[in-house]
Amino acid sequence: MLKEREILNGLAHNPVQFRLGEYYGASIGAGVRLAFNRVHPSVDKRGDFITAAKRIINPLSLPRPIEFDLICHRLAPEITGKDVLDIGSPKLAGLVMAAQNPSTLVLTDIQGDFISPWTKLMNASGYGKRLGKDIFLQREDARKLTIPQNTIDYAYSISVLEHVANDREGNPGDTQAMQQIAKVLRPGGVVTLTVPYDSRGYREEYHNGTIYEREAKLDQANFYQRYYDAQALVERLIRPTGLILEKQVYFAPILPFEEQWNRIPMKAKVPLLPFQGALGYLLINEVSEKQGSGVALRLRKP
């Protein structure tokens, strides 16, 4: 589906090939093991069942296969024995990465409600003894990371930066987050990321109600996400960081099915949820810059 991987500026890429079945297996396997967990019994049986059911029924959403392929494989460096940082990405990527034995794997999010369910899923998947030793689940605001400077070999962020809100002074949150990532990377360290893209121009999207960590506002809509164009990528994510852009890849559905999919009521979609990752794998592909609805970037710290 995707072009052959390349060697960028003499830097070897992750030799681990993306396999859709591996991600399905990691998600469904973790859910099944948690549902029948006898090793680490929990008093929250209902919560465990819901967590397990989510992993079994909805292993991957539509855009995740190409994002995981690009960010965690094609554009990623070798991570064995390296220090790896996730900035708010879907934690299934970290579950798969754990098998590659990074030196440390730090999985973060601005909301802390991911920690309990993913602790249980990590335990159920056999990584419990590594939690708190070389695998860490922790709450972090990407705009002000507590990670020590110059300590990370590889950072990744999948469909996150577009959602990082500006601070109270109006400073761009996505730029702040990228500057923080640049700060914690070691010299020569790599960051890979995906964001939405629209060649027609930069725009922002707002919705009513609570959005992630941002509570609903009575008098105005809440910020939801950004769509970047070529200029915004440079001005907001690249130039302020001092990082060097090594590769960018545009992707989009080859058929306009996403809008129709989003219109289907959730109750009607439930029987189809297990198949949406496979559908995305087949129908979301690399495209030209003009056609792109998303873009993946690989940047390196000098």
Q: Give me the residues paired with residue 192 across strands.
A: 156, 298
Q: What is the pLDDT of residue 74?
A: 96
Whether 2 is in a domain gets the answer no
Going by pLDDT thresholds of 50, 70 and 90, the confidence category of residue 6 is: very low
Q: Does the structure show a pLDDT above 70 at 113?
A: yes
d(C-alpha 94, C-alpha 107), whole Å: 7
**Mean of the per-residue pLDDT values of the chain:** 92
> Domain span at residue 196?
20-300
Give the chain's end-to-end CA distance (angstroms, integer): 32
Whether 1 is in a domain gets the answer no
Contacts of 25 (CB under 8 A, 6+ apart): none
Residue type for position 142: A
Q: How far is CA 192 from the centre of its chain?
A: 10
74-78, 214-218, 273-277: least confidently modelled range: 214-218
Q: Where are the extended beta strands (E) located within 12-151?
A: 83-87, 104-109, 135-139
| Over residues 104-120, mean pLDDT | 96
Whether 194 is in a domain gets the answer yes
| Over residues 27-40, mean pLDDT | 87
Residue 246 sits in a domain whose CATH number is: 3.40.50.150
pLDDT in tens, 57-101: 999 999 999 999 999 999 999 999 999 999 999 999 999 999 999
Number of structural domains the chain divides into: 1
If one counts every other C-beta atom within 10 angstroms of the C-beta of residue 96, the result is 21
Whether 169 is in a domain gets the answer yes
d(C-alpha 37, C-alpha 47), whole Å: 13
Whether 152 is in a domain gets the answer yes
